[in-house]
Amino acid sequence: MPSTTATASSSSSSAAAAAAQPTHPGAMALGIPIPQRDASPSPSPVSSVDGLSPRSIIEPDDRSTRSVNQSIFDFVCENGRTYHRYQAGSYLFPNDQSENERLDLQYEILKVLLKGRNYFAPLKDPRKILDIGTGTGKWAIEMGNAFPKAEVTGTDLSPIQPEWVPNNVKFVIDDANEEDWMLDPMDYIHTRVMLGCFEDFREIIAKAYRHLKPGGWMESQEYMPTVYCDDGTMSPDYAFAEWTQTQDRAAMNLGKPLRIANKLKRWYEQAGFVDVHEEVFKLPINSWPKDPQFKMLGRFSETNLLDGLQAFSLQLFQKGLHWTKEEIEVYLVHVRKALSDRNVHAYHKIYVVWGRKPFDHELGVPSPPNYPPPPPPRE
Ligand SMILES: C[S@@+](CC[C@H](N)C(=O)[O-])C[C@H]1O[C@@H](n2cnc3c(N)ncnc32)[C@H](O)[C@@H]1O
């Protein structure tokens, strides 16, 4: 990774950033300074407490033509929400506190729905784990705790991960669209809830394949935004289902498809993965189910969706459909009402797909000769 010097261009943050040039040993070895939010006293000089280290955020190198010279903490502010600065405009959803709290809630919902499992691939002592689009980093941190011998890297466009993380977890500000991820070969690569992030998720799958060791696993855990109903209680004009279609139209206009979950298995197989599996879980949109666990999941799901509706709509509808903020807010009133209607027994599908990169011998590549070579025959 080429070294770079971070320069904060914004007036208020530049002095603070200059005053706060950090000294994380790992980053300095790479020659990459780690930016800090401000010059206020930080937990340093303590470098490790009870297995936790100060967050290691590595600023992107200067291979990109956009935004790199601006502080990655100097977020873009629009409509009272903040958005990522690095590669600004690429990801259409906010990165502010309320969105981050929603992401953390969503993590807990999925954890319960997936029966406490963070992964489905049959991992055996993985040493290098990558989480693409790690968000607040919860999954990466739990994987760091579950696999203490592994080095877990979470990448994201936004520096929204916690200050203190396990010693074996690091976060890198990086754009997964970059041609080269500049990472060591991985044992396991994970993506979760990345709908609407990429023009073509097949490119991410192909890159992950290249960055995996033979025998390594990739896994995606993905929301399908379509709303389903099995008992006829959802009318054709149900406002929440109509919203997902509007959202889909906006995303397609912007070239960032949302409906990727049900295609993942096929895409994994086309990329060359073998042993590809798919499991589909039903997540009720509100507390309509009778079953107490699904009722509870539905209640949290409703909160997650209500909290997220504005975030999911604002930039998408403004940029993709040219709606005004006022038009969006008025529209969402009906959508919120529909979302909370327990007479409609609607649910989302969550897809979990995992597959293995084949070993060379499975691809017909000859094995390397045995080393050391056998001793020459005696005369
Ligand atoms: C919906 S959030 C999901 C976060 C996390 N995976 C989770 O399950 O909570 C999507 C995340 O992907 C990140 N992201 C979007 N586009 C990206 C890109 N091109 N490269 C890296 N991260 C990206 C966003 O910044 C955001 O944090």
Question: pTM score, two decimals?
Answer: 0.83
Cα 159 to ligand 1 centre (Å) = 11
Residue nearest to atom 23 of ligand 1 (CA): 133
Domain membership flag for residue 320: no
**Probe residue for ligand 1, chosen from 57, 103, 108, 351 as the CB with the greatest number of ligand atoms within 8 Å:** 103
pLDDT in tens, the chain (379 residues): 322 222 222 222 322 232 223 322 222 222 222 233 333 333 333 334 455 665 556 655 544 433 334 588 889 999 999 999 999 999 999 999 999 999 999 999 999 999 999 999 999 999 999 999 999 999 999 999 999 999 999 999 999 999 899 999 999 999 999 988 888 999 999 999 999 999 999 999 999 999 999 999 999 999 999 999 999 999 999 999 999 999 999 999 999 999 999 999 999 999 999 999 999 999 999 999 999 999 999 999 999 999 999 999 999 999 999 999 999 999 999 999 999 999 999 999 999 999 999 999 999 877 666 655 566 667 5
Residue nearest to atom 8 of ligand 1 (CA): 192
| Ligand 1 nearest atom to the CA of residue 84, by list position | 25
pLDDT tens digits along 76-122: 999 999 999 999 999 999 999 999 999 999 999 999 999 999 999 99
| Ligand 1 nearest atom to the CA of residue 87, by list position | 19
Q: What total of structural domains would you count in the chain?
A: 1
Closest CA to 189 of 181, 178, 199, 197: 181
Closest CA to 286 of 351, 348, 225, 224: 348
Give the tokens for residue 4.
């770079």
Domain membership flag for residue 172: yes
Cα 245 to ligand 1 centre (Å) = 22
Instruction: Note down the domain range covering 93.
Output: 13-34+50-224+257-282+348-359
Domain membership flag for residue 40: no
- The C-alpha atoms of residue 235 and residue 96 are separated, in whole angstroms, by 35
CA distances from 3 to 20, 23, 75 (A): 18, 15, 23
Domain membership flag for residue 250: no
pLDDT tens digits along 310-365: 999 999 999 999 999 999 999 999 999 999 999 999 999 999 999 999 999 999 87
Give the pocket of ligand 1 (CB within 6 Å): 84, 90-91, 103, 107, 133-135, 155-158, 175-177, 192-194, 197
Residues facing residue 350 across a β-bridge: 223, 281
Q: Which amino acid is at 155?
A: T
Domain membership flag for residue 276: yes
Give the tokens for residue 171.
């976060």
Q: What is the CATH number of the domain that holds 147?
A: 3.40.50.150
